[in-house]
Amino acid sequence: MTVDPQHYRRAMGRFASGVTVATTFAGRHDHAMTANSLTSVSLEPVLLVLSVEQDARWHDAVLESGVWGISVLARSARATAEWLATPGRPLHGQLDRIPHHRGAVTGVALLDGALTALECRTHAVHAAGDHSLVVGEVVAVHTPEETEPALVHFRGRYTELP
Each residue's pLDDT tens digit, 15-73 = 889 999 999 999 999 999 999 999 999 999 999 999 999 999 999 999 999 999 999 99
- The more confident residue out of 87 and 140 is 140
Domain 16-161: CATH architecture, name and number where available: Roll (2.30)
**22, 97 in Cβ contact below 8 A?**
no
Backbone angles phi, psi at 145, to 5 degrees: -65, -45
Each residue's pLDDT tens digit, 95-111 = 999 999 999 999 999 99
| For range 66-85, the mean pLDDT | 97
Report residue 162's pLDDT band, with 50, 70 and 90 as the boundaries.
Answer: low
pLDDT of 75 above 90: yes
CB atoms within 10 A of CB 107: 13
Residue 122, C-beta contacts closer than 8 angstroms, at least 6 positions apart: 62, 63, 65, 66, 67, 68, 134, 135, 136, 137
Give the separation between CA 97 and CA 84, rounded to whole angstroms: 11
